[in-house]
Structure 1
Amino acid sequence: MIFLLLGFLALAVGGCVCVVWAERGGPRWVRVVAFITRTAGELLSSGQKSRGRGSNTADDGD
Structure 2
Amino acid sequence: MVLVLLGVLVLAVFGCACVVWSRRGGPPWAGKVATGTLAAGAVVRALGKNRGGGRGGDGGD
Partner of 1:12 in structure 2?
12
Larger Rg: 1
What's the Cα RMSD here?
1.5
TM-score scaled to structure 1, two decimals? Answer: 0.79
Question: Post-superposition, which runs of at least 4 consecutive aligned residues in structure 1 deviate over 6 A?
Answer: none
TM-score scaled to structure 2, two decimals? Answer: 0.80
- Counting matched residue pairs gives 54
In structure 1, the gaps of 5 or more residues are 57-62
Partner of 1:60 in structure 2?
none
Partner of 1:30 in structure 2?
30
In structure 2, the gaps of 5 or more residues are none
| Residues 8-54 of structure 1: CA deviation (Å, up to 9, x unaligned) | 1100000000000011011000000000000000011011112218x
